[in-house]
Structures are given as C-alpha cells and as structure tokens.
Amino acid sequence: MHFDWSTLALQTINLLVLCWLLHRFLYRPVLGLLDARRRQVADQLAEAATAQDQARRERAALEAERDGLSGQRDAVLAAAAEKADRLLRERLDQAQRQAATLIEEGRRAIGQEQARALQDSKVATLDLATRIAGRLLAASPASVRAIAWIDLIEQHLAALPAEERLALCRQIQEGGKLRVVTADFLPTAVQPSWQQRLGAALGCAVEPEFAVDPALLGGAELFFPGAILRFSWKDALANLRLELEKADAAG
C-alpha cells in the first residue's frame, strides 16, 4: 500500500484551517452569546433578589403599620370604654344624689306638714276647749265667776314681793288710776267687794274703774299706771300657744 505524505499534510492543513474557522466564526460567537445570556440571567436574578428584598421590607413596614394601627385602635377603644364607664358612674352618682335630695326634701316636707298638722290640731283642741269652758262658765252665775277671778287675783297679789306691791300702791297714791277690765259685766253688787279685796291685797286704798272687754274671753286684767296684771283667758291662751310654738321649734 502506497502512503502519500503530501495528501496527509494537505488534509492536516485543511483540518487546522477548519478548526480555526470554527473557532473564529462559530465557537467564539457562541461563547459570547452564552456569556451575554449568562450576564443577562445574573442581572435578572439580581433584580429579582432586589425586588424581593424591597417587597420584604415593604411587607415588614406594612405589618409594623398594621400593628401600630391595631395598637392605636385598642388604645382608642380602651379610652372610649373608660370614658363611657366614667360617664356612667358620674350619671349614677348624680342620680343617687338627686334621689337622696328628693327623699330628704320629701321627708322634710312630710315632717313640716306633720308639724303643722300637729300644731293646727293643738290650736284647734285649745280653741275647742276654750269654747267648751266658755260655755260652761257662761252657764254659771256671774257672781260665782266674779268670786273665782277675784280669788285668783288676790292670791297673785299676796304672792308678790312687798316691794312690788308697794310700787303698785305708789303709782295709785301719786295720782294714778287702777282700771279693772273683765270679760263679762261685773255685777254692781260685786264691785265693792272687789274694791275692798284689791285694796287689802295691795295694802293701800284703791278706787278702781270697772270696764268690760269680751275679747278677754274670761277673767280680768288690772291696768295700773305703769304695769298690767293679766288674769284673762285671752292672755292664758296666748301664752299657751307661745309655749306650743316654742316646743314645736325645739322639737
């Protein structure tokens, strides 16, 4: 077999040229395209990672804001609940105070009405007793009534200190007059007896003037120049009513 070295050399050169052409016009562009594509993919991955990090940060910010809003909402709700509870307590306290005031005013009004009713009943009872006693007294003879009153006056004058009786006599002795006013007309036959007994009780001579005042209801009143001695039912009733008023005021 004959081996041609020239043919081998030519084919070797052709192979080398083909490899160079492939490397020059095919492999290098392909490698360049692959590198560009790899860089593009790396850039896209970097952008995706950046976008992912941004999304995470925004999500964290949103969650923090949501937590803040939730806390604010809870705080607002708690404040509103506390305010409502405070207002409710204030309203209840105010209502209780108003109710207590009304109850106290009602009790006071009832007490005042009871006091007035009791006072009116006492006065009415006193007036009724006075009218009954007046009727009973009117049914008795005038001379008997006159003796009863002069007895009372005589006892009172006898119980006075001597200085006071002397002062009353001095008023008469110095020109004054003694005026005796009775609720009923004093019988003429009884008047001298009154004059004598009054003089004896006072310790000096008297010439009284006798007069009548039905407003006295009963009894008599002695008008000296500088003093008045009252023994009438009118005065007794006035004193009794005054005592009742004082007792009611003290109670």
- pLDDT tens sequence across 18-58: 777 777 777 667 667 777 777 887 777 778 778 788 878 88
Please check whether residue 237 lies inside any domain of the structure: yes
Short-list 208, 212, 164, CA closest to 186: 212
Distances from the Cα of 55 to the Cαs of 42, 51, 117, 138, 145, in angstroms?
A: 19, 6, 90, 121, 124
Short-list 184, 191, 181, CA closest to 229: 181
Give residue 168's pLDDT: 92
Give residue 29's pLDDT: 72
Please check whether residue 83 lies inside any domain of the structure: no
Contact status, residue 181 vs residue 233, Cβ threshold 8 Å = no
Give residue 130's pLDDT: 54
Please check whether residue 177 lies inside any domain of the structure: yes
Residue 224, domain CATH? 3.30.2320
Please check whether residue 234 lies inside any domain of the structure: yes
How many C-beta neighbours within 10 Å does residue 216 have?
Answer: 19
Please check whether residue 128 lies inside any domain of the structure: no
Short-list 210, 230, 211, CA closest to 220: 230
**What residues of the chain score a pLDDT lower than 70?**
1-3, 27-28, 30-31, 110-146, 247-251
Please check whether residue 2 lies inside any domain of the structure: no
Please check whether residue 29 lies inside any domain of the structure: no
Share of the chain above pLDDT 90, in %: 21
Give residue 137's pLDDT: 47
Give the structural domain span for 214.
142-250
Please check whether residue 26 lies inside any domain of the structure: no
Total of domains in the chain = 1
